Chains A and B, each alone.
Chain A
Amino acid sequence: MSGEGPVLVLRRATYRYPGGVVAVDGVSLDVAAGDVIGIAGANGAGKSTLARLCNGLLRPVTGSIVVDGLDTRRHEVHELARTVGLVFQHPRAQLFARTVAEELAFGPRNLGCSKVEVQGRVARAAARLGLQDVMAVSPFELPAPRRRHVAIASVLTMEPRVLVLDEPTTGQDQDAAAVVADIVRDLRAEGVAVACISHDMRLLAAIADRVVVMAAGRVVAAGTPRSVFADAAMLEAAGLLAPQVTRLGLALPRLRGRPVVLAVEELAEELAAARGSGGEMQ
């Protein structure tokens, strides 16, 4: 059914909350298998509403969202759940089981997987997020950052072709955030289409093939992280700020005309290259 085309297709998708607030306003977007798209924007820009549209929790009032060939207006959330996994911004909104093991097993069991298959999926997801030691613990007894890892693992056990992550690194230290970034890279290599909503521009710089910037429900910019993070005025208007290393590169006169940098090593290399070319140095 999926073929070669994009597995997540939004066409002029619009959502208005009862009461009249238009949270998502004519958004069009394609995400292909093995594509990681980052979604950034100020608080209230419509990012979390967009996430709920992608898994059918909300349905567009106009326009359409098609996930792996399934139109969300014509399919129930539980049907869509076979294809699209959503990790919520607040893990507490998602978790409910008495133990981490039960939490992880719930999804695949409901998909009708065999007992052996469920066990295999649970073990793989637990290993990916390093949860083996806490399988018998209640998710609610874990510190918030670990709870977020449980929420991610409980969606990975569904083995979705489309994964939507809503602020997956909030409150996480660099090690815990690196775990999430590594998992996104692995899923990308496995051909999963990933949409990652985040305020963490360093994360998006590290994992995204493309970054989409939203403001007041609309897409105001889209492109590679390098092109999007180079537009300081657009970012500021959207409540955003490029990673510090990117801003440093853009502000250094001697790097004028050089490629936009996204990582510490890249800036160091560009400075070394500028040093090598000599001429412009003081």
Chain B
Amino acid sequence: MIPGRDTQAIDSVASLSPVVSVRDLRVRYPSAATDALDGVGFDLVPGELVGLVGLNGAGKSTLCRCLNGIVPQLVPADVSGSVTVGGMDALRTSVRLMACVVGVVLDEPDAQLSQGTVGEEVALGLESMAVPWSEMVARVDDVLARVGLAGMLERPPLSLSGGEQQRLVLACALALRPPVLVLDEPTSGLDPLSRAAVFDLLADVAARDGTAIIVAEHDVELLAERADRILVLHDGRLVASGTPAAVFGDVSAMRAAGVRVPDVTAVAVTLNGRAGEPLPVTFEGGLRWLAGIR
């Protein structure tokens, strides 16, 4: 469905029916004493940017890897429940075919790089999807510019800095224009402004292309500014789901899940928040809130 996908196809995806449906997903790795995921269920609709937070080991990476079938197909695990992505059964459809509907960017980017040059790296997925040459060249140039790697076409991927490699694997995923993007800590090696730039880019891709994006991320200040919705995992369970204001504003629930709240929210709590009024989660919201205290 992807090669030559035109704008009409994108429009048809951009309806409000879910493009990802996860139902009662349970995952247990061989020899593990507990479930990595324990009855997780949620939907993603086209065009939404969703942040996934939780402690290390809460199940974020497992969830990301279920959305394109890496778990259980390449990483063995006992799995029950269902994962439907772009109309396909992600738990049973080959990872190779799932790549048509879901782009995945994992942490440790160097493990995903294999080609001689940056240009070839981005073109690799497009070639295997039989995108015509002229369109391939245009898409490679376009995505490299969007991630801030224009002019690096001929560089060997492994000669790039860690942050540049991270942006390159993101470019590889974006070039395929999948309806769903899954990113596991895509900004962990980036400086603060590059991190913000990646989230600006993701917000743009979600809004403009109608892509549904789920991104595991520890930077809660950034998520509060840019994400449409936050999912919180704790010990393999989905313990909260809602807008950043609703999720981060529930400070005791976040504390129970081990997730830090944005600085601005923590300051408001320390100042004993005003009863009944929602806590600020963004920088601008925080300035307004703090200007109002007496």
Contact = CB atoms under 8 A, between A and B. Distances in A.
B162 A43 contact: yes
Contacts of A43: 161-164, 189-191, 194
A247 B57 CA distance: 31
Interface residues of A, number: 43
A173 B258 contact: yes
Interface string B201-231: 0000000000000000010010000000000
Given A145-B56, A172-B218, A247 B283 contact: yes
Interface string A212-245: 0000000000000000000000001001110111
Interface in A143-202: 143-146, 167, 170-176, 199, 201
B185 interface: yes
B210 to A, nearest CB: 30
A237 to B, nearest CB: 10
Interface in B205-264: 218, 221, 258-260, 262-264
Interface stretch (A74-82, A97-105, A260-268): A260-268
B79 interface: no
The size bracket of the interface on B is: 35 or more
Contacts of B54: 173
Contact of B283 (A171, A176, A248): A248
Contact of B56 (A176, A251, A252, A275): A176
Contacts of B195: 199
A176 B218 CA distance: 12
B131 interface: no
Given A172-B56, A244-B221, A275-B294, A42 B263 contact: no
Given A252-B290, A268-B271, A236 B218 contact: no
B290 A44 contact: no
Given A90-B110, A244-B221, A244-B262, A236 B189 contact: no
A244 B264 contact: yes
A186 to B, nearest CB: 22
A201 B196 CA distance: 14
A240 B260 contact: no
A263 to B, nearest CB: 9
Contact of A167 (B189, B262, B293): B189
Given A42-B193, A42-B194, A248-B287, A143 B56 contact: yes
A247 B196 CA distance: 15
A268 B164 CA distance: 38
Contacts of A282: 291
B188 interface: yes
Contacts of A268: 267, 270-271
Given A167-B189, A264-B270, A89 B107 contact: no
A236 B162 CA distance: 20
Contacts of B162: 43, 48, 89-90
Contacts of B188: 170-171
A239 to B, nearest CB: 4
B193 to A, nearest CB: 5
Contacts of A256: none
Given A174-B258, A199-B189, A241-B193, A44 B110 contact: no
A41 interface: yes
A215 B286 CA distance: 31
A172 B57 CA distance: 10
A44 B267 contact: no
B194 A241 contact: no
Given A43-B190, A171-B188, A243-B263, 17 more contacts: A40-B191, A42-B194, A43-B189, A43-B194, A44-B163, A90-B110, A167-B189, A171-B56, A171-B218, A176-B56, A239-B194, A244-B262, A245-B263, A245-B266, A248-B263, A252-B287, A282-B291
Interface of A: 40-44, 48, 89-90, 92, 143-146, 167, 170-176, 199, 201, 236, 239-241, 243-245, 247-248, 251-252, 264-265, 267-268, 271-272, 275, 281-282
- What 8 A-B pairs are tightest by C-beta distance, nearest first? A43-B163, A241-B192, A245-B263, A268-B270, A244-B263, A239-B191, A42-B191, A264-B266
20 contacts: A42-B194, A143-B56, A146-B56, A167-B189, A170-B189, A199-B195, A236-B193, A239-B191, A240-B191, A240-B192, A241-B196, A243-B263, A247-B283, A248-B263, A248-B267, A248-B287, A251-B287, A271-B290, A275-B293, A281-B294
